[in-house]
């Protein structure tokens, strides 16, 4: 009986060994990993800590040798159209300005002269209009000649042209009625020089 147990155990060990050897010789095909999206649960969200990313080493300065200069094609150098004294400057170096923004105001005798010419020519135009109307009325009533009416009309047209010219000169030079000249920015940009 003992020999039968020994033979049975040898047979069992032999079968198990053969089984193990046969199993190790077969090729196991692994399944490719599935694309499962990670889902954050409510309990995980309550445990999450959110913080700002910071650079632990702030010494990342780089040194270059260069010259910084403005682009001359996009730079506007501004000069006053008239002479005078600066009363106020509204901008400083480095300020951002927009097109049409007031940069400075000046008191100018030339501007006062342009203003005087505009007022004077406007008054002369009104007088010429009255003279023309009077000449037409006198002509209608027979107390004046057609030549007088024609002269009054020509004088009115001359005064009208003079008033238009003087107003255009005033507007071209800033258009201020109180003898001040206003310098405005022709483009948007930054003040880089005073």
> According to the model, what pLDDT value does residue 192 have?
87
- Of residues 109 and 133, more confidence is placed in 133
> According to the model, what pLDDT value does residue 35 have?
65
* Pairwise CA distance, residues 59 & 109, whole Å: 58
- In our burial notation (b when 16+ CB lie closer than 10 A, e otherwise), range 10-35 reads eeeeeeeeeeeeeeeeeeeeeeeeee
* Pairwise CA distance, residues 131 & 157, whole Å: 12
Average pLDDT rounded to a whole number, residues 132-149: 88
Quickly tell me which residue has 């005078």 as its tokens: 84
Residue 61 has pLDDT above 80, yes or no: no
Q: How far apart are the first and last CA of the chain?
A: 120
> According to the model, what pLDDT value does residue 125 have?
92
5-53 residue pLDDT tens: 777 777 788 777 777 666 665 566 666 666 667 777 787 777 777 778 7
Pairing mode, strands 189-190 and 96-97: antiparallel
> According to the model, what pLDDT value does residue 161 have?
94
> According to the model, what pLDDT value does residue 5 have?
77
Sketch the domain layout of the chain as residue ranges: 109-185
67-121 residue pLDDT tens: 888 888 888 888 888 888 888 899 998 899 999 899 988 888 888 888 888 889 9
* Pairwise CA distance, residues 97 & 89, whole Å: 13
Please name the residues in contact with 95: beta carbons below 8 A apart, sequence gap of 6 or more: 190, 191
- Of residues 4 and 71, more confidence is placed in 71
Q: Label residue 128 by pLDDT band (50, 70, 90).
A: very high
Average pLDDT rounded to a whole number, residues 169-193: 82
Specify the 3-state DSSP secondary structure of 31.
coil
Enter the CATH code of domain 109-185: 1.10.287
């Amino acid at each position: 009986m003992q020999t039968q147990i020994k033979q049975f155990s040898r047979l069992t060990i032999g079968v198990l060994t053969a089984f193990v050897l046969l199993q190790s010789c077969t090729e196991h095909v692994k399944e490719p990993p599935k694309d499962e999206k990670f889902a954050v649960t409510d309990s995980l969200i309550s445990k999450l800590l959110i913080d700002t990313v910071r650079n632990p080493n702030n010494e990342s300065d780089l040194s270059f040798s260069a010259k910084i200069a403005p682009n001359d094609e996009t730079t506007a150098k501004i000069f006053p159209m008239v002479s005078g004294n600066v009363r106020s400057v509204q901008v400083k170096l480095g300020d951002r300005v927009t097109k049409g923004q007031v940069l400075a105001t000046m008191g100018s005798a030339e501007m006062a002269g342009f203003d005087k010419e505009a007022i004077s020519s406007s008054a002369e135009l009104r007088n010429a209009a009255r003279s023309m109307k009077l000449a037409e009325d006198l002509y209608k009533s027979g107390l004046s000649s057609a030549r007088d009416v024609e002269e009054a009309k020509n004088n009115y047209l001359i005064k009208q042209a003079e008033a238009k010219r003087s107003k255009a000169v005033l507007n071209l030079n800033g258009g201020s009625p109180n003898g001040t000249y206003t310098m405005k920015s022709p483009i948007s940009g930054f003040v880089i020089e005073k």
